[in-house]
Amino acid sequence: MPSKNYATLNEILTQTIAWEDAIKVVNENEKLIKELDLKAYSQVLIVGCGSTYYLSLAAASLFQSQLGVIAKAYPSSELLLFPKSVYTDGKILLIAISRSGSTTETLRVVEAFKRERRGHIIVITNYSDSPLATLGDICLSINKGQEKSVAQTRSFASMFVALSAMVSCLEGNKKFDLYQHLLLASGNRIINTYKTLVEQYARNNAITQFFFLGSGSCYGLACETSLKLKEMSQTITEPFHFLEFRHGPISMVNQNTLIIGLISENASSSEMAVLKDTKNFGAKILTVGEKGTDIEFQSGLPEYARYVLYLPVLQLLAYYRAINFDKNPDEPRNITAVVEFDMIS
């Protein structure tokens, strides 16, 4: 058992309160969201840095597959340093995501986008009083997702729920609050049911390298949950798209490898086949998904509404790994909660 009362643990365990807040905030902004005419945009760009870039990856996949718009994710810095490789003619919908609302790259991107009148801006943040929050045509600020810890856990999940609810709202015919009860109850149940299992994996010192596999929206979530493990415990870990793993990375697999598979609904047989290959090379496997997996959601929710359920247990894996190595999960080495700097040009 952890000897100290770390904020990270509390933030992971209580995160469904922040999910609920996210749904409330989207409901409050429903009219403005519904006024957006997606057909009017040449593309939807979703940007952030670090965790919020990975959130953008998951969200872009969700936007394009659910709403049929061209949606792309970029790290904010790419729009600043290589704008021509990103921007297209025509009106753009920019979704800027930042827990703090103060990250320099994201702020500069939004300011330039506004100045150049490229289209409309939606801001997603956890701080309604941040500089970024004032720059959006729509601002979804989920204040209950705020954290004391450096690594994003409940903040990330809360902003992801907001994006999922926004997709629902833009689809027009569904209201995300229909799913609210099931989603929150499933989140709490999954945490309680599986926290001991993930703690066992985290404390297994025979495992020295972790790979997170995910495709579609699960790729962004695989990147994020791998980042959690890296940040909190400095463990060797990388994310990959499922089938990409066979094209080289599988060479890394040995008896000390854990492969974590974020199993999707439609591609599960291909995903399971990749995992079987890695098992033949000695890897241990931990699968997460709606059913037929080691960690089962059993939520009954449509896939687009339940992606957030992958997060809490995999965040806990990172937390317990940090504890196992006697590291402070609240303050990972070498990083700060916000990266602010003077831009050179």
User: How far is the C-alpha of 251 from the C-alpha of 81, rounded, in Å?
Assistant: 34
- Angstrom CA distances, 14 to 11, 70, 78, 187, stand at 5, 35, 34, 10
Alpha helices in 172-297 (DSSP H): 177-202, 217-233, 268-280
Q: Is 285 in the site for ligand F1P (CB under 6 A)?
A: no
Q: Is 152 in the site for ligand F1P (CB under 6 A)?
A: yes
- Angstrom CA distances, 265 to 8, 271, 286, 336, stand at 30, 10, 17, 36
Sign of the four-CA dihedral 139, 144, 148, 151: negative
Region of 20-28, 95-103, 161-169, 271-279 interacting with ligand F1P (CB under 6 A):
95-103
User: How far is the C-alpha of 341 from the C-alpha of 338, rounded, in Å?
Assistant: 10
Region of 43-51, 251-259, 275-283, 291-299 interacting with ligand F1P (CB under 6 A):
43-51
Angle between helices 311-324 and 154-171 (to 10 degrees): 170
Whether the CB-CB separation of 55 and 224 falls below 8 Å is answered with yes
Tell me how crowded residue 280 is: count the other CB atoms within 10 A of its CB: 10
Region of 67-75, 149-157, 309-317, 318-326 interacting with ligand F1P (CB under 6 A):
149-157
Binds ligand F1P by CB under 6 A, chosen from 50, 119, 216, 312: 50
Site residues (CB under 6 A) for ligand F1P, limited to 169-188: none
Binds ligand F1P by CB under 6 A, chosen from 43, 51, 158, 226: 51
Whether the CB-CB separation of 33 and 25 falls below 8 Å is answered with no
Q: Is 337 in the site for ligand F1P (CB under 6 A)?
A: yes
Q: Is 338 in the site for ligand F1P (CB under 6 A)?
A: yes
Binds ligand F1P by CB under 6 A, chosen from 47, 150, 162, 191: 150
Q: Is 100 in the site for ligand F1P (CB under 6 A)?
A: yes
By C-beta, is 98 or 217 nearer to ligand F1P? 98
Q: Is 153 in the site for ligand F1P (CB under 6 A)?
A: no
By C-beta, is 51 or 215 nearer to ligand F1P? 51
Binds ligand F1P by CB under 6 A, chosen from 58, 95, 122, 151: 151
Q: Is 323 in the site for ligand F1P (CB under 6 A)?
A: no
Whether the CB-CB separation of 153 and 16 falls below 8 Å is answered with no
By C-beta, is 80 or 275 nearer to ligand F1P? 80
Region of 37-45, 78-86, 99-107, 261-269 interacting with ligand F1P (CB under 6 A):
99-107
Q: Compute φ and ψ for 127, nearest 5 degrees.
A: -130, 105
User: How far is the C-alpha of 96 from the C-alpha of 162, rounded, in Å?
Assistant: 13
Region of 21-29, 170-178, 193-201, 329-337 interacting with ligand F1P (CB under 6 A):
329-337
Rounded least distance, CB 101 to ligand F1P, Å = 7
Angle between helices 177-202 and 16-28 (to 10 degrees): 150
Q: Which amino acid is at 114?
A: K
Q: Is 149 in the site for ligand F1P (CB under 6 A)?
A: no
By C-beta, is 272 or 338 nearer to ligand F1P? 338
- Residues in the interface with ligand F1P (CB under 6 A) total 18
Q: Is 7 in the site for ligand F1P (CB under 6 A)?
A: no
Q: Is 329 in the site for ligand F1P (CB under 6 A)?
A: no
Q: Is 49 in the site for ligand F1P (CB under 6 A)?
A: yes
For residue 289, the number of C-alpha atoms closer than 13 Å in the C-beta half-sphere is: 22
Alpha helices in 35-123 (DSSP H): 51-67, 76-81, 104-115
- Give me the residues that bind ligand F1P (CB under 6 A), please: 48-52, 98-100, 103, 106, 150-152, 335-339
